[in-house]
Structure 1
């Protein structure tokens, strides 16, 4: 029996990368995991099948953040899936991971790009959490995935950085709000992580440069971050809330 046996979890954006590794890690600890995806149903089902092959429990839910009705669509699928498998819609763990990037010069950012990034990375995180409040029991867990871009300046990622800064503010303020219910909420800050889909990691020179940024002299892997998230989801982390945990391998030490 794992540390999360008989608990339920929603991991947004979990068809690939850090989200996928997190869904798999929580399932190995015994949680029933809702694997959220936006467009790639095949990838999400692959995650579910992999979890089930290892004896875990999972199901996929779809919602495209930034579209009208996105949160309603997500929770319709989530609650239906939970009730079918447990008889209840109770959600013990929420991992707000879904996000998109914007990499372009500040002068080239359009209102449309700005609105999309903020809608997916900040607005959706807030309203997913707001909707989850009615399903989270006392003692529940919320983990928000931020980014190392909140710790250093890169003009080409200004909008992305703004959106992730908002995620950390969500953590700070909700820690006070949820504390009386024993619900903890924390942010995890990854550094550059090889999510298996970014072409830059095929270039040995770039990989060497990124590895050199880390105090541990290697490139971060999704499992490195997922293990931190899993810790925060367990009772072992019961006395941590409102925190921002650096899971960058020392890439943000300056």
Structure 2
């Protein structure tokens, strides 16, 4: 049976690449987007051209009140497209960046980061537990910045650190259902994160490349393909791990 993976925040960046990588590996995808329906539709079309199935659903992962409605829409989409009642995998990817020193971080910035990167992941996963098949997989996205400090990312990295701990507890509590839970922590990647800062700012790109053993910053293919591999049967015994995918950043 074809595996179905729900990837949040998959209209762009790492989520988009992850969705496409899963499709290339023979899987089907439910992808979410916050506001850009056209970009999401483009990803769906790309997946369908590979001969796979895909559905795009709107979701703001920072608004917990919307999760019951999303769960209902997901149930409908699964029934109509796959005649299924569950997904096999969940990839909690959706997120945003906001860079500020601790002394200048506002409560609004802090709350937005925590709501999307931790509270949203916690309660969306909770809401979806009845819809994740036994034997499935959960992958939570973290950051290389939970291992090393880079000024300006305190709130963002603290939220990601909380997700890493959540992943351990999910692995423990869901083990009886055969569900493996892991964290993937990318290093600096050339995406539109922080307005494309690493991708479009030569000095910043060079700084991170110089911190990386392999001599460059990452690209989306470095992450999406790894996540698709982690969801495969070849990695079925990998569980409760924080896997950094950074090319050897800051070692």
TM-score by length of 2: 0.94
Count residues in correspondence. 249
**Which of 216, 224, 227 is equivalent to 1:226?**
224
- Residue 164 of structure 2 corresponds to which residue in structure 1? 168
Q: What pairs with 1:45-64 in structure 2 (closer than 5 Å)?
A: 45-64=41-60
Q: Please report how far the alpha carbon of residue 68 of structure 1 lies from its aligned counterpart in structure 2 after TM superposition.
A: 5.0
Alpha carbons 2:61, 2:124 under 8 Å: kept:
no
Matched, 1:194 2:183: no
5+ residue gaps, structure 2: none
Q: Distance in 2 between matches of 1:66 and 1:132?
A: 15
Alpha carbons 1:187, 1:242 under 8 Å: kept:
yes
Q: What pairs with 1:9-48 in structure 2 (closer than 5 Å)?
A: 9-48=5-44
Q: Distance in 2 between matches of 1:200 and 1:188?
A: 19
Matched, 1:206 2:199: no
- Residue 139 of structure 1 corresponds to which residue in structure 2? 135
Q: Please report how far the alpha carbon of residue 109 of structure 1 lies from its aligned counterpart in structure 2 after TM superposition.
A: 1.6
Alpha carbons 2:210, 2:216 under 8 Å: kept:
yes
Q: Please report how far the alpha carbon of residue 7 of structure 1 lies from its aligned counterpart in structure 2 after TM superposition.
A: 1.0
Alpha carbons 1:63, 1:73 under 8 Å: kept:
no
Q: Distance in 2 between matches of 1:75 and 1:252?
A: 40
Secondary structure of the structure 1 residue equivalent to 2:47: helix
Secondary structure of the structure 1 residue equivalent to 2:133: coil
Alpha carbons 1:148, 1:252 under 8 Å: kept:
no
5+ residue gaps, structure 1: none
Q: Distance in 2 between matches of 1:209 and 1:113?
A: 26
- Residue 148 of structure 2 corresponds to which residue in structure 1? 152
Q: Please report how far the alpha carbon of residue 122 of structure 1 lies from its aligned counterpart in structure 2 after TM superposition.
A: 0.3
Residue range with higher mean Cα deviation, 183-192 or 22-31: 22-31
Q: Distance in 2 between matches of 1:115 and 1:202?
A: 27
- Residue 92 of structure 1 corresponds to which residue in structure 2? 88
CA deviation string 1:188-223 (max 9, x = no partner) = 010000115504423434333322221111220111
Aligned CA RMSD, in angstroms, stands at 1.5
Q: Please report how far the alpha carbon of residue 169 of structure 1 lies from its aligned counterpart in structure 2 after TM superposition.
A: 0.7
Matched, 1:130 2:145: no
Q: Distance in 2 between matches of 1:73 and 1:231?
A: 31
CA deviation string 1:107-131 (max 9, x = no partner) = 2222222111111110110111112
CA deviation string 1:26-50 (max 9, x = no partner) = 1122222011110111111111111
Alpha carbons 1:71, 1:124 under 8 Å: kept:
no
Secondary structure of the structure 2 residue equivalent to 1:79: helix
TM-score by length of 1: 0.93
